[in-house]
Structure 1
Amino acid sequence: MSRPHLILILSASVASLVAAHGPALAQEASDETEASTDIVVTARKREERLQEVPESVSVLTGAQIDRGNINNLKDFVALTPNIIARSTFRSNETFITLRGIASAQGALPPVSIIVDGVQLGSNDFINQDLLDLERIEVLRGPQGALYGQGAIAGAINIVTRNPTNDFEGFVKGTYGRGNSYRLSGAVSGPIIADSLFFRLSAYHRGTDGLIKNAAGVRIDGGKQSSVRGQLSLDADPLTIKLRGSWTDGDGGCCIQDKAPRDAAGNLIDLDDVTNPGAKSNILGREKTRFRDASARIDYDFGPLTLTSITGWADVRQKVFGDFDYTAAALTAQDLVYSTNVVNQDIRLASNGDGAFSWIVGGFYQKRKETLRLRVGAEIPGGLTPTIIDQDIHKTSKSTAVYGQLSYKITPELELLGALRYDDDKEDNVDRNRPATTQAKAKFHALQPKAQLSYKWTPDIMVYATYSEGFRAGGFSQTSLFDNEKTRNYEAGFKSQFADGRVTLNGSVFHIDYQNQLLSYVVNTNTAAIRRTINIPKTAIDGFELEVNARPSRSLTASFSVGFTDSVVKKVAPDPVIPTAGAVGKKSPLVAPFTVGASATHRTPLTDTLDFVAYGAVQHRGGYYFDLTNTIHTGTKTFVDANLSIETSVWSIGLYGKNLTNARFAENMSITGADLRVPNQPRSYGVEARYRF
Structure 2
Amino acid sequence: MGMSSHARRRSFLGETATAALIALASAQGVSAQVAAPEQDTEASTAIGDIVVTATKRATKLQDLPESIKVIDSVQLENSNVQNLRGFVQLTPNLLVRETFRSNETFLTMRGISSAQGALPPVAFVVDGIQLGSNDFINQDLLDIERIEVLRGPQGALYGQGAIAGAINVVTKQPTNDLSINAKASYGNADTMRFAGSVGGAIVEDTLFAKVSGYYKRSDGLIRNNAGTRITPYEQGYVRGQLNYESGDFHGYLFGSYTKGNGNCCIQDIVNKRQNGVIVPGFRTLTGAYTLVDVDDVTGNPGPTSNVLGKSWERFRNAGLKLEYDFDPFSVSLVSGYNYVRQRIYGDADYTAPSAGITQLVQDIPFTTRVFNQELRVTSRDTGPFKWLIGAFYQKRREVQDIAVGLDPGAPLNQRPGSISTFVLRQNNVTRSTSYAFYANASYDITNRLQLSGAFRYDRDRQSAVNTLAAGSNKAHTFTQPQPKVQLSYKFNKDLLVYSSYSIGFRSGGYSQNSAFDNELTKNYEIGFKSTLFDGAAVLNAAIFHIDYQNQQISFVQLQPVVLRQVVNIDKTGIDGLEVELTAKPTENLTVSAGVGVVNTTIEAISANALTTGLDLNALIGNKSPLVPPITLNGSIDYVMPLSDNYSLLFHGDYRREGGYNFDLANTIRTGTQDLINGKIALQTGRWQAGIWANNLTNNRYATNVGVTGIPYRYPNQPRSYGVELSFKL
**What is the 5 A alignment of 1:153-302?**
153-263=164-274, 264-265=288-289, 268-275=292-299, 276-302=301-327
Aligned-pair identity in percent equals: 48
| Partner in structure 1 of residue 565 of structure 2 | 531
Aligned partner of 1:407: which letter? Y
Deviation at 1:265, TM superposition (A): 4.4
Is the counterpart of residue 304 in structure 1 residue 329 in structure 2? yes
| Partner in structure 2 of residue 320 of structure 1 | 345
| Partner in structure 1 of residue 632 of structure 2 | 595
Q: Deviations over 1:636-688 (max 9, x none)?
A: 11000000000121000100100011111000001032110000000110010
Aligned partner of 1:447: which letter? Q
Aligned partner of 1:652: which letter? A
Distance 2:425 2:184 in 1: 44
Q: Deviations over 1:407-428 (max 9, x none)?
A: 0000110000111000000010
| Partner in structure 1 of residue 402 of structure 2 | 373
1:124/1:339 contact within 8 Å kept: no
Give the secondary-structure state (helix, strand or coil) at the position aligned to 2:85: helix
| Partner in structure 1 of residue 149 of structure 2 | 138
1:290/1:314 contact within 8 Å kept: yes
Residue among 376, 391, 406 paired with 1:362: 391
Residue among 435, 438, 462 paired with 1:402: 438
Residue among 575, 597, 617 paired with 1:563: 597
**What is the 5 A alignment of 1:490-501?**
490-501=525-536
Distance 1:576 1:598 in 2: 40
Distance 2:579 2:527 in 1: 10
Sort the Cα spacing of 1:675 and 1:32 in 2 relative to 1 into closer, same or farther, 3 A. farther
Q: TM-score, normalised by structure 1?
A: 0.94
Deviation at 1:180, TM superposition (A): 0.5
Q: Deviations over 1:112-138 (max 9, x none)?
A: 111121222233332222222111000
Sort the Cα spacing of 1:341 and 1:34 in 2 relative to 1 into closer, same or farther, 3 A. farther
Aligned partner of 2:420: which letter? T
**What is the 5 A alignment of 1:627-642?**
627-642=664-679
Aligned partner of 1:173: which letter? A
Q: Which runs of 5+ in 1 are unaligned?
A: 1-30
Q: Deviations over 1:409-461 (max 9, x none)?
A: 001100001110000000100001132x1100110100001110000011100
| Partner in structure 2 of residue 11 of structure 1 | none
| Partner in structure 2 of residue 486 of structure 1 | 521
**What is the 5 A alignment of 1:498-509?**
498-509=533-544
Distance 1:257 1:70 in 2: 29
| Partner in structure 2 of residue 449 of structure 1 | 484
2:163/2:506 contact within 8 Å kept: yes
| Partner in structure 2 of residue 61 of structure 1 | 72
Distance 2:227 2:395 in 1: 45
2:318/2:336 contact within 8 Å kept: yes
Distance 1:347 1:265 in 2: 61
Q: Deviations over 1:14-70 (max 9, x none)?
A: xxxxxxxxxxxxxxxxx9867332211101101111111110000010111111111
2:101/2:263 contact within 8 Å kept: no
Q: Deviations over 1:355-400 (max 9, x none)?
A: 0010000000011001001111233642114212111100011100
Distance 1:601 1:112 in 2: 33
Distance 2:321 2:111 in 1: 34
2:376/2:388 contact within 8 Å kept: yes
Q: Which runs of 5+ in 2 are unaligned?
A: 1-41, 275-287
1:152/1:470 contact within 8 Å kept: yes
Q: TM-score, normalised by structure 2?
A: 0.89
Q: Deviations over 1:480-523 (max 9, x none)?
A: 00010000000000000111111000000000000011110111
Is the counterpart of residue 552 in structure 1 residue 589 in structure 2? no
Sort the Cα spacing of 1:254 and 1:334 in 2 relative to 1 into closer, same or farther, 3 A. same
1:557/1:597 contact within 8 Å kept: yes
Give the secondary-structure state (helix, strand or coil) at the position aligned to 1:623: coil
Aligned partner of 1:257: which letter? D
**What is the 5 A alignment of 1:23-102?**
35-102=46-113
Distance 1:593 1:399 in 2: 37
Aligned partner of 2:361: which letter? A
Deviation at 1:195, TM superposition (A): 0.4
| Partner in structure 2 of residue 331 of structure 1 | 360
Aligned partner of 2:321: which letter? R
1:135/1:160 contact within 8 Å kept: yes
Residue among 657, 660, 664 paired with 1:623: 660
Give the secondary-structure state (helix, strand or coil) at the position aligned to 2:407: strand
Distance 1:133 1:618 in 2: 23
Distance 1:169 1:345 in 2: 33
Aligned partner of 2:537: which letter? V
Aligned partner of 2:262: which letter? G
| Partner in structure 1 of residue 3 of structure 2 | none
Distance 2:325 2:115 in 1: 41
Give the secondary-structure state (helix, strand or coil) at the position aligned to 2:272: coil
1:428/1:478 contact within 8 Å kept: no
Deviation at 1:576, TM superposition (A): 4.5
Aligned partner of 1:107: which letter? A
1:640/1:656 contact within 8 Å kept: yes
| Partner in structure 1 of residue 132 of structure 2 | 121
**What is the 5 A alignment of 1:441-480?**
441-480=476-515
Aligned length: 660
Q: Greater CA deviation, 357-366 or 477-486?
A: 477-486
| Partner in structure 2 of residue 543 of structure 1 | 577
Distance 1:390 1:334 in 2: 11
Deviation at 1:564, TM superposition (A): 0.3
Deviation at 1:174, TM superposition (A): 0.6
| Partner in structure 2 of residue 16 of structure 1 | none
1:32/1:64 contact within 8 Å kept: no
Deviation at 1:332, TM superposition (A): 1.2
Deviation at 1:163, TM superposition (A): 1.8
| Partner in structure 2 of residue 432 of structure 1 | 468
1:481/1:533 contact within 8 Å kept: yes
Is the counterpart of residue 651 in structure 1 residue 688 in structure 2? yes
Aligned partner of 2:580: which letter? E
Distance 2:727 2:133 in 1: 35
Distance 1:266 1:129 in 2: 43
Q: Deviations over 1:317-346 (max 9, x none)?
A: 111101222212932110011111000011
2:508/2:516 contact within 8 Å kept: yes
Deviation at 1:164, TM superposition (A): 1.8
Is the counterpart of residue 391 in structure 1 residue 427 in structure 2? yes
Distance 2:489 2:557 in 1: 52
Q: Deviations over 1:245-299 (max 9, x none)?
A: 0011002211100112232346501101011111111000000111110000010
Distance 1:517 1:548 in 2: 35
Aligned partner of 2:592: which letter? S
1:375/1:384 contact within 8 Å kept: no
Deviation at 1:574, TM superposition (A): 2.2
2:266/2:350 contact within 8 Å kept: no
Q: Deviations over 1:172-222 (max 9, x none)?
A: 011011110100001101111110000111000000111000111000011
Is the counterpart of residue 679 in structure 1 residue 716 in structure 2? yes
Deviation at 1:159, TM superposition (A): 1.3
Residue among 648, 663, 671 paired with 1:611: 648
Distance 2:513 2:684 in 1: 57
Deviation at 1:596, TM superposition (A): 0.4
